[in-house]
Homo-oligomer: A and B are copies of this chain.
Amino acid sequence: MSDDSSTRIARHLRSLAAAADAGTKLPSTRALAERFGAGPVTVQRALAQLVAEGVVETRSGAGTFVRKRQAAVAPVDVSWQTAALGPERPGMPTIGSSMRQIPHDSIAMHSGYPEAELMPLKEVRSGFARIARRDDAFTRPPTAGLPDLRRWFVDDLGADGWRDTDAVITSGGQAALAATFRALTTPGDAIVMESPTYWGAIAAARQAGLVIVPVPRTDGAPSASDLDDALASSGARLAYAQPTFANPTGDVWSPTQRDAVLAVARDHRAFVVEDDWAHDFAMDGPAPAPLISTDRDGHVIYIRSLTKSLSLSVRVAALIARGPARARIENALTVSDLYVAPVLQAVALDVVSRPAWRTHLTRLGRALQGRRDALVGALAAGAPMIEVTSVPRGGLNLWASLPAYAADGNPTDPDVVAARALSAGLSIAPGSEWFPAEATGPFVRLNYAAAGPDRYDEAVGILLRSL
């Protein structure tokens, strides 16, 4: 790594950008690395410098482009805010590295989403074309969402006894989660969470001022005694869980485990927030019936999003629940967001109502299975010391355990490994972000749906060198 090369590359790019129109694409990281005989780290340092200067912008998956030039701005003094805002609030949430924008030619195994080719893009495009001609796509919907879309979500539970008025449409699963935590707790309350679990749930709970009480998974699910203990000792009324293809581990609760968790929730008069994030990502046949399908008396608050399976642009999810809890959550959602753009609701309904949707899901399941097997194989062949904790039957990720010690005898730090891998062109998520408390080992999360199998060997090689 030479600062001189980085400076030279930055100078070169600055002069290219100065001579080009806004929007012009600049050479790729690889081309620059070759031309200057520099490593990707060096090139990326130069690019980061130019992004910071506002000269170029990187667009995920597309490359680096010249930005429109902005007038010079006189320095502004905002230091008074430091005193006005006071100390950072305890547990101020951090945004997971899976939301990171990375150079377009890096291998994207950090993302929380499948790549575009695994999504029904053609159907979504024609959905937008069809819906944009309709008048009801531009009329204010009920704040709780379009009745037919709510109906689709409750029908898709595959259980009797639910009405469309039990559902509220939200702009994505994160909005539903954050509103649920805000609506049903007051700051300082405790919330029980499986550990490890989705970073966004951890961040939303922290923003709501909650104390997170982690429970481990035993054979894939929180044991009744652990859950009982956590609820009793903390006084929490809310537990957050992903019973099906948990993010990041891929675990699935068995029917017995589901019944046990529900029984404990009933005993404690507690709610279980069921985040069914991977409902559409089952590999062999449909996903198991959600927990809520056996809930009769309003203990489960169910959240299901279509953003990951339909399109990043169709930010539509449903929250299904009963009773005063549902009313409080709907109120919180309305106060934060009023309603979800009707065009997005109508496109979602249009796409999922067509036969092509079922075909797509079957094809998607097979594709995910193929990728999962390819990545498991590439790891076994290229980095046998990295252990895949369990091979998931659904979801988008492998949860892998790095060797406890590096070659130099120091304990492995997955944050350092992830940073090294990133600068070598592989973006992964360090496991630490998935633990509400201390991590129980040096884990990393590898998303096989965000990067294609043609780059798995290369990815494993970089990971190996980053240990």
**Residue contact B99 to A334, C-beta cutoff 8 Å:** yes
Known contacts A132-B125, A337-B174, A338-B174; A54/B312 CB under 8 A: no
In the complex, per-residue mask of A149-173: 1 if CB is within 8 Å of any chain B CB, else 0: 0010000000011111100000110
Chain B residue, CB-CB nearest to A312: B140
**Residue contact A341 to B338, C-beta cutoff 8 Å:** no
**Residue contact A78 to B298, C-beta cutoff 8 Å:** yes
Is the CB of A16 closer than 8 A to any CB of chain B?
A: no
Of B171, B187, B207, which one neighbours A335 at CB under 8 angstroms?
B207
B-binding segment of A85-93, A351-359, A425-433 = A85-93
In the complex, per-residue mask of A117-143: 1 if CB is within 8 Å of any chain B CB, else 0: 001010011001101110111111011
B-side contacts of A46, CB under 8 Å: none
Is the CB of A273 closer than 8 A to any CB of chain B?
A: no
Known contacts A84-B269, A93-B331, A337-B171; A76/B313 CB under 8 A: no
**Residue contact B139 to A324, C-beta cutoff 8 Å:** no
Of B89, B162, B271, B335, which one neighbours A186 at CB under 8 angstroms?
B89
Is the CB of A68 closer than 8 A to any CB of chain B?
A: yes
**Residue contact B80 to A297, C-beta cutoff 8 Å:** yes
**Residue contact A133 to B125, C-beta cutoff 8 Å:** yes
| Cα distance, A380 to B204, chains bound together (Å) | 52
B-side contacts of A89, CB under 8 Å: 186
B-side contacts of A237, CB under 8 Å: 84-85
**Residue contact A270 to B161, C-beta cutoff 8 Å:** no
B-side contacts of A80, CB under 8 Å: 269, 297-298
Is the CB of A82 closer than 8 A to any CB of chain B?
A: yes
Is the CB of A315 closer than 8 A to any CB of chain B?
A: yes
Of B95, B147, B271, B313, which one neighbours A342 at CB under 8 angstroms?
B313
Known contacts A296-B76, A313-B344; A204/B335 CB under 8 A: yes
Tell me the smallest distance from the CB of A21 to a CB of chain B, in Å.
14
Is the CB of A372 closer than 8 A to any CB of chain B?
A: no
**Residue contact B269 to A83, C-beta cutoff 8 Å:** yes
Q: With contacts A70-B164, A80-B269 known, what are 10 further pairs, Cβ within 8 A?
A: A54-B165, A68-B151, A70-B151, A84-B271, A129-B132, A137-B313, A140-B312, A175-B336, A312-B341, A337-B337
**22 intermolecular pairs with C-beta atoms under 8 Å apart:** A54-B163, A59-B136, A62-B135, A73-B162, A85-B237, A85-B324, A85-B325, A93-B331, A95-B143, A95-B331, A99-B339, A124-B132, A138-B313, A171-B337, A172-B338, A179-B336, A182-B207, A186-B209, A200-B335, A203-B335, A207-B336, A315-B340
Interfacial residues, chain A to chain B (CB-CB below 8 A): 54, 57, 59-62, 67-68, 70-71, 73-74, 76-78, 80-85, 89, 92-93, 95, 99, 101, 111, 113, 116, 119, 121, 124-125, 128-129, 131-133, 135-140, 142-143, 147-148, 151, 160-165, 171-172, 174-175, 178-179, 182, 184, 186-187, 200, 203-204, 207, 209, 237, 269-271, 296-298, 311-315, 322-325, 328, 331-332, 334-344
